[in-house]
Amino acid sequence: MKKIFLIILIFNLNFSYLYSNNKIYEKIDLFGEVLEKIKKDYVDDVDESNMMDSAINGVLQSLDPYSAYMSPNLFKEMQTDTRGEFGGLGIEIGMESGVVKVISPIDDTPAEKAGIKAGDYIVKIADEQVQGKSLMEAVKLMRGPVGTAIKLTIRRKGEKKPLEFNITRKIIEVKSVNSEILGKSKNLGYIRLKSFNENSDKQFLEIIKTYEKNTKIEGYILDLRNNPGGLLTQAINITDFFLDDGEIVSTKGRRASETRKFFARRGDEIKGKPIIVLINNGSASASEIFAGALKDHKRAIILGVNSYGKGSVQSIIPLRNGGGMRLTISKYYLPSGNSISEVGVTPDIVVEETGDNFKIKTKNDNQLNYAIELFNS
């Protein structure tokens, strides 16, 4: 009886596997049929290579906003992103429902100076519709020779009509950390972290050690607004500066190697002094790990508005044709067990940007002014 049951079970498993595979092959056959119909009957000539690239990219973008295909040319161009210096406008972008969305403008870049804001939707690049293009194609359109201008057409929440910006391309130098002593009594250490680059932790720690030698420093304002993220290792290292122990972040993926937990080592570099962390909807990824971990451990007050909600890890995978793909391989989880994805980090104190002249780290920066007042009250 046991043998009969085992044979039936194996048969059922094999049948399910074959049935599943047959369904996939049926879809592949259908795809081939559609291609043939296009070649024969479509009104205009089509570039079959571009059409296949779009089909592959469509498969990846159906997974999530961050997975994408890169043709050999695009893949080669994207390598420049990791060198810390590149030509362009100075914005971090992502996809949302097939539309290119600004995650954040980078400080002191042409895009930021022109007035591009986190949450803007790019609908046209140089009068070319963006809808239907891949993220990588949009990036390629925005890049060009240094000194040349390009027009971006933007849709912004609260604005009835599209906004147009003429922006001149330049070499983008990403400087991740700067600092200043603030407060009426010069008692606050202000550190602005613009991205989590390769050496951000060393720069950050050097500033802290310098400030800690100043006996007047009573607390810190850590500004992560419009910080699009960066390296996971840097987020972990910098968060660890302010925690004595406990979990910082965990990642969970399909493979065992992508499922990990990261913990703080003993030693708070500022010895428990109070911290206010500033965030906005341009704070993404590694920024959200940092802010979320300090919030969960009740180590800092989070002030501003809800962060972006990018809680996933992408891997760049080279392909045989010389191209590559960006594929989401795991997700971030905060010490509380909550996922950042599509949710973000909610501030303890909500302070919206106010006024048409709002700009980070100026006299019109009401969020920073609020943080300073909290310390002085």
- Contact criterion met (CB below 8 Å) for 193 and 202: no
Is 262 in a helix, a strand, or coil? strand
Alpha-carbon span 60 to 135, nearest angstrom = 11
User: Catalytic annotation on 285?
Assistant: yes
Residue 312 — φ and ψ, nearest 5°?
Answer: -135, 160
In the numeric block, the tokens 């603030």 are attached to 182
Residue 157 neighbours by CB distance under 10 Å: 8
- Contact criterion met (CB below 8 Å) for 91 and 116: yes
Alpha-carbon span 286 to 174, nearest angstrom = 16
Residue 141 — φ and ψ, nearest 5°?
Answer: -65, -35
User: Catalytic annotation on 296?
Assistant: yes
User: Catalytic annotation on 310?
Assistant: yes
In the numeric block, the tokens 């992502």 are attached to 94
Half-sphere exposure of 273 (CA within 13 A, CB side): 19
Catalytic residue among 310, 312, 330, 365: 310
For the chain, how far is it from start to end, CA to CA, in angstroms? 80
CA nearest neighbour of 223 among 194, 203, 184, 197: 194
Is 278 in a helix, a strand, or coil? strand
Catalytic residue among 120, 223, 296, 365: 296
Catalytic residue among 195, 283, 285, 330: 285
Alpha-carbon span 115 to 163, nearest angstrom = 10
Kindly list the catalytic residues. Answer: 285, 296, 310
